A and B are shown apart, each in its own frame.
Chain A
Amino acid sequence: MEHPPATDAELGTEGATGTVAPASSDCVVCNHPITGQVYSIGDRSYCHEHYVRALQRRGTWPSVWILFAALVAIALLMQLVGPALTPLLTGGSLVVAGLIMAILPALIWLFVFRRLDRLEPEPFQYLLGVMILGALISGAIGDPLRRGVYGMHLWSESQWMWAIPIYALTQGLLLALTVYITVRFSAFLIQDFDERADGVIYGTAAGLGAAVYYNLRYLMDAGALRLDVGTARIIIAALVFASIGGLIGYGLGQVRFEPHSIWYLPGIVLLAALLTGIYEWLSSETFSRSLGYTAWVSVLIAAVLGAVLFAAINVLVRSAIRQTLSEGTESDLAVAR
């Protein structure tokens, strides 16, 4: 089916019309052969429908932040109503509720992060594959080390000068290395990893995979599902792990398309480990002597850290897309702006 050239009104952009390539090829979004006019951004070819969609201002960020606020609100709400609901969950309903709690927030975050890649959203099956691989590596290597060698499931310390370095050099590094190895030796090598922002998206998928595993493990450890504690922990942990994964993915996206110092990736991995250490310290502070707050404050503090990391990922993705487009045409630059 042939389409007329996209108009400014359709694009919702000012002055960005894209270029019309003479030769036909496959659309980078739907992968179907393009019949009729071929639109392009940089070196990417689009069919009419996906070209319009790529250039439209989709209002993604307001909806993403609303979703973020809604998930945090659910976590806080569960602090109030969770204790009343928890006794109602027994037997099969308990198992189902546990699985939903461990997996659903991760899938929601995966959907959210995928939306950020407006130029060429990655195939969902690839993201799901990276997520599963991240969970498997966490279960096969990360968690046995975390529990068996470090005993971190029983470890706690409130003094930040001990807690942050130890959390960073144990759980933080394990998470960072899990994400790094997952992405570097899978998605990084495929053809669909064709822009810097893809690193962020695949990194978040790997981080979410690790989060799903650790959340399932947390629920199994707990023995009984507690909605007040569990909901908050799972939602926030999924976001933070995704953001940490996104940071490492950003580094991988950068080195794939630009020459960088050999210390660039190690630096990113160390930074990710340090941020994880800070998060773990904050989230363990429910038991703090000095701050003396109860669970909902802990949820808020962890959520603020999650929001900061999430905002950083926003900046990184936008910067990556801008860099990608800046290598294209003038009209692409207009899109980037």
Chain B
Amino acid sequence: MSETPAVTATTVLAPWAGGRLPLTPYHGQGGLSVSDLIVIIGGIALLIGGWALQRAHDARLDTAEIAGLQVAFPEGWLPLPVEAPAIAQWTEDQGSGATLTLYAEPAPAERAGIQLGSPNPAEAQSAYTPMRSEPITVGSTSAVRADYAYARQQIATSSPPEIIRGREVAWTANGQQYALALEAPDRDWSSFEGLFESLGTVAVTQGGAG
């Protein structure tokens, strides 16, 4: 009221008068202004740009359906045959020895819904060293994330054991205990650890809702 300038009949009835849009919605004009069009059209263009950027980012990942669980893995990584409790495994295609493994085993019925230990058998490896373990929440699912390391002896070589670094997220859902573990030789670990969050989020979110 007080601050609204006196709006003329021309601006109210014909904001397009003269064939030109007003530059901005100055004086509270109801019709579109150039500024509005930039916001709306530019906003849509940037949303498309955001979609393209997200696709470029996600192109680093591929997905697979494993036992009803959608799992993301780095694009180009190769599937490997697995033994229980692993249900899927991929390895890096450049020969670094990095692996991504999904483990699953039934959760004891009487303790369903309670976060138990991890089905990851890495503890049995020589010189296994837990480095950090903490409860986390992904979406609405409780999980435990842990970092660890162990020594792996190269088969049929005289070279010294190799230190393997690992990070896993373990959670319980649908009566199963799951663990998704990313492992890589210590020298290459920094190249791979950045992938883990995206991989873990997809797996836990998809597997935790049920």
Contacts and interface: CB of A to CB of B under 8 A. Distances in A.
Interface string A281-314: 0000011110010110000000000000000000
Interface in A131-178: 145, 149-150, 153-159, 162, 165-166, 168-170, 173-174, 176-177
A266 B36 CA distance: 8
Contacts of A266: 35, 38-39, 42
Contacts of A158: 194, 197
B53 A166 contact: yes
Interface in A229-252: 229-230, 252
A252, A258, A289: most-surrounded residue (chain B CB, <10 A): A289
Interface stretch (B81-89, B104-112, B136-144): B136-144
Contacts of A156: 197-198, 201-202
B79 interface: no
A107 to B, nearest CB: 24
A161 B38 CA distance: 26
B139 A166 contact: no
B2 A294 contact: no
Interface stretch (B25-33, B94-102, B121-129, B153-161): B25-33
A154 to B, nearest CB: 5
Interface string B189-210: 0000110111011100110010
Contact of A222 (B3, B139, B196): B139
A195 B42 CA distance: 28
B130 interface: no
A180 to B, nearest CB: 6
Contacts of A93: none
Contacts of B30: 189
Nearest to A224: B140
Contacts of B57: 157, 162, 166
A124 interface: no
A256 interface: yes
Contacts of A295: 136-137
Contact of A194 (B1, B24, B54): B1
Interface string B1-22: 1111100000000000000000
Contact of A157 (B1, B24, B197, B209): B197
Contacts, number: 159
A113 B87 CA distance: 53
Contacts of A330: none
A260 B39 contact: no
B135 A269 contact: no
B136 A289 contact: no
Interface in B47-79: 47, 49-51, 53-54, 57-58
A184 B25 contact: yes
A49 interface: no
A287 B2 contact: no
Contact of A256 (B1, B26, B54): B26
A317 to B, nearest CB: 15
Nearest to A185: B30
Nearest to A193: B28
A173 B42 CA distance: 10
B3 A263 contact: no
B135 to A, nearest CB: 7
Nearest to B196: A289
Interface in B179-196: 193-194, 196
A265 interface: yes
Interface of B: 1-5, 23-28, 30, 33-36, 38-40, 42-43, 46-47, 49-51, 53-54, 57-58, 132, 134-140, 145, 167, 193-194, 196-198, 200-202, 205-206, 209
Given A28-B2, A266-B35, 12 more contacts: A156-B202, A157-B197, A165-B53, A169-B50, A177-B39, A191-B1, A195-B3, A223-B209, A262-B33, A262-B35, A264-B24, A295-B137
12 contacts: A28-B2, A153-B139, A159-B194, A166-B50, A196-B3, A255-B24, A255-B25, A255-B35, A259-B26, A264-B24, A265-B39, A287-B201
Interface of A: 28, 42-44, 145, 149-150, 153-159, 162, 165-166, 168-170, 173-174, 176-177, 180-181, 184, 188-189, 191-196, 221-224, 226, 229-230, 252, 255-266, 269-270, 273, 286-289, 292, 294-295, 324, 327
